[in-house]
Amino acid sequence: MALNTILLWNPIVWNVSPEIFDFGFFALRWYGLLFALGFVFGQRILTRIYNAEGRTEQDVDVITLYMIIGTVLGARLGHCLFYEPEVYLKDPIRILKIWEGGLASHGATIGILLSLFLFSRKYKFDYLWVLDRIVIVVALGGSLIRLGNLFNSEIIGKPTDLPWAFKFERNHELINGVQASLQPRHPAQLYESISSFLLFLFLYSLWNRRKSLTPRGLLFGLFVVILFTLRFLYEFLKENQVDKEDFLLNTIGMNIGQLLSIPLIIIGLFILIRAITKPTYVDPVVSASK
């Protein structure tokens, strides 16, 4: 007999409104606030990092703009192309309707990598040096975004009878013929949020210990390998986001999130191993002035 049926524990009832306040013509949502705070806090932390290594606040302002554009465009296009291409290719104008929901972290990763490549070329920064510093604040931003998913009662986990299970009472979607809100579930968003925050602390402490003497590519390699390995594992605890993931899971044993994580983990491992075995160092002032 399942533990919850004999009432030996009570799941955490999650019934928090996704809206902080609603004026009718405008509503402020937790997700939007936390998304924005990721950039606000990230800019402050990045300013400290850049100042400590001889760069200016102006550099941070410019890279933040590149980051915002790369994150939003990448996350939106990633969701449309990776998860529901048949829907958005049929009606491309829907791609612009971000308020309807649909952002993908793998798409955001690709968007950030491309936008920072353009930033590095234009302003003559070493690309890996830029990535090593930016992943510190990306980890923090990812933690806040997953909290936003929690407030939206989305990206929920599979049913469980663990004592910290959540009942997402505002989630009324049908999963395997059962309304999601009726079953205690893994708080998968919280797992990822806590993991990303701990990753932020870990990366920042590594940078703070050696600053410009941190081997080139070390922080980026660690970030990619740790984050997407955890993402691969957490997917086993999460409900699939779209129906075609059920087909993939039944045929190859992995969903879209796991398939997209594998190449990133491989790239991260290559860069990490190279940073450890053949460490190189970059002076950001010299590289940006060439």
Render pLDDT for 242-288 as a digit per residue (tens, 0 to 9). 766 777 777 888 888 999 999 999 999 999 999 999 999 987 665 65
Domain range summary for the chain, segments of one domain joined by +: 27-284
Terminal CA-CA length for the chain: 69
Give the residue ranges of the annotated binding site: 146
Render pLDDT for 189-248 as a digit per residue (tens, 0 to 9). 999 999 999 999 999 999 999 999 999 999 999 999 999 999 999 999 999 877 667 777
Render pLDDT for 86-129 as a digit per residue (tens, 0 to 9). 888 888 888 877 766 778 889 999 999 999 999 999 999 999 99
pTM, entire model:
0.90
